[in-house]
Homo-oligomer: A and B are copies of this chain.
Amino acid sequence: MTKTSTGTTKAPFVHEIRVGWGHCDPASIAFTGHLPWFALEAIDSWWETHLGGDGWFQLNIDRNIGTPFVHMSFDFSAPVTPRHRLMCEVTPVRLGTKSIEFRVIGRQDGKQCFEGRFVNVFVISDQHGKSIPAPSDIRAIIEPLLLTLPIEAK
């Protein structure tokens, strides 16, 4: 359970990924180049779940809203392997006027493998260069889900 900005607790959103043979390098662990893709897939799935089925594809194509990345960072703490499913916990941690920050924690068998931070800006999809304020209906959905992070967290 995580405590949100409204003081309520919520079950975290977790996206499950099947790590397979093809993701692994000769060290027999998932190649690092796949991990950002996994985290992005988890964020895409977060949108899909919270916007009534609209992931990035529908958000862009049907609503003309894009959320390109301006920042991404990862700390890797344990290898990812096909021995267990990769459980990616996705949490919005900050909603700016024109941007949103997500935290994604990847775990296998209960053990943390990586933590990532991702900052997206809102844009009109067919005018990619110009950021816009987060649409109000989307803001209304996200605000109650924002995680209250301890002060020391970045």
Show the binding face of A for B, using Cβ within 8 Å: 18, 20-22, 24-29, 31-33, 35-37, 40-41, 44-45, 55-58, 60-61, 66, 68-77, 79, 81-83, 125, 128
Residue in chain B with minimal CB distance to A79:
B128
Contact check, B76 vs A68: say whether CB atoms are below 8 A apart: yes
Residue of B nearest to A118 (CB): B32
Residue from the set A21, A36, A60 with the largest chain B CB neighbour count within 10 Å: A21
The residue on B at minimum CB distance from A70 is B76
Give Cα distance in the complex from A31 to B91, angstroms.
22
Task: Point out the residues of chain B lying under 8 angstroms from A32, CB to CB.
Answer: 22, 36, 40, 68-69, 72
Contact at A66–B33, with CB atoms within 8 Å?
Answer: no
A55 touches B33 (CB 8 A): no
Contact present for B72 and A74 (CB under 8 Å): yes
Given the interface pairs A21-B25, A21-B55, the reply to whether A70 lies near B61 with Cβ below 8 Å is no
Task: Check if A33 sits within 8 Å of B31, measured CB to CB.
Answer: no
8 Å CB contact of A20 from B18, B55, B70, B71: B55
Give 4 nearest A-B pairs by CB, closest first. Answer: A21-B56, A73-B73, A57-B82, A33-B37
